[in-house]
Amino acid sequence: MSADYGSPTVEHEATAGDDEAGYRSYEVYQRERVGSPPPVKPGQLRTQDYLDDPYTLLANLRHYGPSFRDWQGNAFWITHYNDVTSVLVDSANFATRSKRWFYGLATFGRDLRNNVPFLTAQAAGIDKHAPVVAREIVEAFAKRGTADLATEFAAVFPLQLLGRTWGIPDADLPVFAERYLRMQRGFRWNTANQEAGKQAMLQLVSYFTPLLAARRADPQDDVLSALATLEIDGPAIDAHDVVATLLEGDHETLHGALANMWFLLLTHPEQLDMVNNTRRLVKYAYLETLRHSTPVLSGERFAKREVERFGLLIPEGALVICSAAGANHDETIFADADQFIVGRKDLVQREPRGQYRADGLPAGITPALGTPSKFPALPVGRPRSLYAITRDVATIASHALLDATNNLQLAKDAHPTLKSRGYGELHTCWHLPVTFSAK
């Protein structure tokens, strides 16, 4: 028996163009194929419109097609869920660049975040300190009956937790935090911020130099000591490595996620009631927040080679902006994508491992939490992934808040909103005034 592979099964249909004399090359076909002009002007993606409400612009882009070439910003935007996740997990074709690279300081220190002793110390430290720090922070305002959850809770909790796990004395924390934030804000396009950030990095190096020596001589139960005693190839760990490790890590995502989660719960009181009554839903509220209002709007990837994807030829070196915010509201993936629904049935409720889907369900995308663990199962000798740790910590902090308050609600006349302070920065709620009665 032989199959006839050769003959076409469908008759070639003559198209209008075939009547015309001359031939049409592929490029002409490509040009004719282009439909209506894009509904978004490139510059618009860097205006206040986008910083305030990215979702409307991104929906336009999503409906327009799989990709959008931003000529002004020399970037390719993608906004469809399956496209975005396909790039984020494709490290063979797309590379990330470190914050130090953006600083122009690619050789400043070494990023030690992938060393197991560091990961173990970090996980242990967070597990140990998170409940304590959460309680302390909530107690500071619990008696008052009013608070601003954005500034007094979401913004300070991650910093204080960072200080405790790393072993930075409480007394130094405000000064440390000021430098730390300056450093984290500086790697983007704004030159003045970048200058300030570079200064902060040097100040942090001077700060850590004696502290690191002290920990090496007398190790404590903290991340800094784990770094001080870490043995790796190459020269001994010094303060530059510590600062590089700090810089590449990030606490802002937790800050943004907590603020956004409470923003969403407080503006959806029926869901807040539900969560308060069934505490196991806190975790689901967090996961839905990462989908509905990711604090990190997009991830940037650079093409390692020329690839043809999303209807475009993407040249080597091209910047691909993976719009998490666009993908998370993809109507073809999530029903009622614009609605905040705690415990929604079409969102994966556990950590997706090695991809963005588990149990056949998609997860919300929040780039800074890292791609989901690349290990399909938890490898022996390694702690939980940062994704899981952050989720648990957010849950712990929120529990502490619910435990200390009754009748938590938005302050009268409060109209909180989400916005970014600058292009490429956290998209979150900056003021969230609430009232409650103390328990």
Q: Which is nearer to other proteins, 41 or 382 (CB)?
A: 41
Stretch that binds other proteins, among 4-12, 17-25, 55-63, 382-390 (CB under 8 A): 17-25
Stretch that binds other proteins, among 6-14, 266-274, 309-317, 371-379 (CB under 8 A): 309-317
Site string for other proteins, 193-232 (x = CB under 8 A): --x---x---------------------------------
Judged by CB under 8 A, the residue of 17, 145, 178, 379 near other proteins is 178
Residues 72-101 that bind other proteins (CB under 8 A): 72-75
Residue 27, interface with other proteins (CB under 8 A)? Answer: yes
Stretch that binds other proteins, among 134-142, 209-217, 237-245, 275-283 (CB under 8 A): 134-142
R_g of the chain computed on alpha carbons:
24
CB of residue 191 to other proteins, shortest distance in Å: 5
Residue 7, interface with other proteins (CB under 8 A)? Answer: no
Site string for other proteins, 337-376 (x = CB under 8 A): ----------------------------------------
Residue 23, interface with other proteins (CB under 8 A)? Answer: yes
Site string for other proteins, 250-289 (x = CB under 8 A): ----------------------------------------
Judged by CB under 8 A, the residue of 85, 122, 160, 398 near other proteins is 160
Judged by CB under 8 A, the residue of 17, 145, 311, 317 near other proteins is 317
Find where tokens 């000798």 sit. Answer: 381
Whether residue 56 contacts residue 339, with contact meaning beta carbons closer than 8 Å, is answered with: no
Residues 45-74 that bind other proteins (CB under 8 A): 46-48, 51, 69, 71-74
Find where tokens 């000064």 sit. Answer: 175
Whether residue 285 contacts residue 261, with contact meaning beta carbons closer than 8 Å, is answered with: yes
Judged by CB under 8 A, the residue of 18, 221, 273, 316 near other proteins is 316
Which of 238, 249, 232 is closest to 213 using CA atoms?
A: 238
Strand-pairing partners, residue 148, are 433
Report the C-alpha gap between 347 and 356 in whole angstroms: 11
Residue 181, interface with other proteins (CB under 8 A)? Answer: yes
Q: Which is nearer to other proteins, 145 or 317 (CB)?
A: 317
Which of 357, 112, 325 is closest to 224 using CA atoms?
A: 112
Q: Which is nearer to other proteins, 22 or 235 (CB)?
A: 22
Judged by CB under 8 A, the residue of 319, 358, 361, 378 near other proteins is 319
Q: Which is nearer to other proteins, 47 or 56 (CB)?
A: 47
Residues 100-129 that bind other proteins (CB under 8 A): 102, 104, 106
Residue 9, interface with other proteins (CB under 8 A)? Answer: no
Report the C-alpha gap between 211 and 409 in whole angstroms: 43
Number of residues that bind other proteins (CB under 8 A): 69
Stretch that binds other proteins, among 19-27, 86-94, 233-241, 325-333 (CB under 8 A): 19-27
Q: Which is nearer to other proteins, 421 or 439 (CB)?
A: 421
User: Given the rule CB under 8 A, which residues bind other proteins?
Assistant: 21-25, 27-28, 30-32, 34, 36-38, 41-43, 46-48, 51, 69, 71-75, 102, 104, 106, 136-137, 140, 151-152, 155-156, 159-160, 170, 173-174, 177-178, 181-182, 185, 188-192, 195, 199, 302-303, 306, 312-313, 315-319, 420-423, 430
